[in-house]
């Protein structure tokens, strides 16, 4: 187990609510608690609309937090600070955006896109130093210096995402939020981008929060994985533990949908089909947010919010099935899941 000195980020009861109108509040993120350790990749997965992208943006303070704390390297990101402190934090925490077509300014050259942060933070001594840094970054992500004076529309999706990665690297960050960085790319390109990110992590000691809905890819890149549903964390474990022994009924359903490469296994595997739609985050269910679609739900699930339990060493879950206080109500459920 890693100790507190290895923590780069501590997320404590983080909430981000949006006012829809006078009477309605959308609870996009509703009480997240997890840590991210130096040099690791923390995967955050869940269905579309579960709040994972909002969580990533709130951690980086692109959105102000409604409540809770984000402690980065011992400093609270959401505290009011001096301009100098804010600027330093923003340099150390960067983001790779989902859409490589929308995240690059079409009126700027690649050189100016990558160098924008360098200019803001004054990291180049002169024009030549600025250009040298840009060329070095382009070569680092697999592009070349001839690309520096071109515009985003002249590149493919995979190349644009490499430009986005170079932009994030320009400030020499410690932590990068990668918000579904491969979902808009062709399948043939996705592995190239993921392998590039893994290489850069090894070379530069980077820490990633990797947000995705592709569970197979998350398994490939992540050290630990958190599963979100309707703004809350349902389960958190090491990548191996989560995929070998999922505890939460929602995680089990998600993993059952991953296709198997062996046709015989694929033909005989059992899919878990969830009934109903994801409830609206403006009117979430009482108690456990997953109870309206859970095949194991009991009365207590509607009455009590599940506690965040360490069911096994390093393996946390928010489910009454694993809470000793209600275990007698789930004997049949436990037997069905064994």
The dihedral formed by the CA atoms of 71, 72, 77 and 83, expressed in degrees to the nearest 10: 140
> Between β-strands 41-45 and 224-229, what pairing exists: parallel, antiparallel or unpaired?
parallel
337 pLDDT more than 60 = no
Question: What was the pLDDT predicted at 276?
Answer: 73
266 pLDDT more than 60 = no
- Lowest-confidence segment of 10-19, 69-78, 168-177 by average pLDDT: 69-78
Q: Break the chain into its structural domains and give their ranges.
A: 4-246
- Most confident among 9-23, 86-100, 266-280 (mean pLDDT): 9-23
CA 47 to chain centre: 12
Question: What was the pLDDT predicted at 99?
Answer: 84
Task: Over range 148-164, report the average pLDDT.
Answer: 94
Question: What was the pLDDT predicted at 338?
Answer: 56
Paired residues of 317 in beta bridges: 235, 309
For the domain spanning 4-246, the CATH number is: 3.40.50.300
What's the CA gap between 248 and 318, in Å, rounded?
A: 8
Question: What was the pLDDT predicted at 139?
Answer: 96
The percentage of the chain sitting over the pLDDT mark of 90, rounded to a whole number, equals 67
pLDDT digits (tens, 9 = 90+) for 200-212: 999 999 999 999 9
126 conformational bin, left if phi > 0, alpha if psi -120 to 50, beta if neither = beta
Under the banding of pLDDT at 50, 70 and 90, the label for residue 153 is: very high
């Amino acid at each position: 187990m890693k100790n507190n000195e290895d923590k780069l980020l501590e997320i404590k009861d983080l909430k981000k609510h949006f006012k829809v109108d006078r009477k309605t509040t959308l609870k996009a993120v509703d009480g997240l608690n997890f840590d991210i350790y130096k040099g690791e990749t923390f995967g955050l997965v869940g269905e579309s609309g579960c709040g994972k992208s909002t969580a990533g943006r709130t951690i980086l303070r692109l959105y102000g937090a409604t409540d809770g704390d984000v402690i980065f390297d011992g400093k609270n990101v959401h505290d009011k600070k001096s301009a100098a402190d804010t600027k330093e934090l923003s340099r150390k925490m960067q983001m790779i955006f989902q859409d490589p077509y929308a995240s690059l300014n079409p009126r700027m050259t690649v050189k100016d896109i990558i160098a924008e942060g360098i200019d803001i933070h004054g990291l180049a001594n002169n024009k030549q130093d600025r250009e040298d840094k840009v060329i070095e970054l382009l070569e680092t992500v697999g592009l070349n210096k001839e690309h520096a004076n071109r515009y985003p529309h002249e590149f493919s999706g995979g190349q644009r995402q490499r430009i986005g990665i170079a932009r994030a690297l320009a400030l020499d960050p410690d932590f990068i939020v990668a918000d579904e960085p491969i979902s808009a790319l062709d399948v043939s390109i996705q592995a190239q981008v993921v392998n590039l990110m893994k290489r850069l992590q090894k070379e530069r000691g980077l820490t990633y929060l990797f947000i995705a809905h592709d569970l197979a890819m998350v398994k490939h890149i992540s050290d630990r994985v958190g599963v979100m549903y309707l703004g809350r964390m349902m389960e958190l474990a090491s990548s191996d533990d989560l995929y070998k022994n999922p505890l939460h009924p929602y995680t089990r359903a998600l993993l059952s949908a991953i296709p198997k490469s062996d046709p015989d296994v694929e033909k005989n595997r059992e899919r878990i089909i969830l009934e109903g739609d994801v409830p609206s985050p403006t009117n979430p269910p009482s108690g456990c947010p997953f109870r309206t679609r859970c095949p194991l739900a009991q009365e207590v699930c509607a009455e009590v919010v599940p506690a965040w339990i360490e069911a096994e060493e390093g393996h946390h879950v928010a489910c009454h099935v694993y809470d000793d206080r209600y275990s007698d109500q789930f004997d049949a459920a436990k037997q069905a899941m064994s």
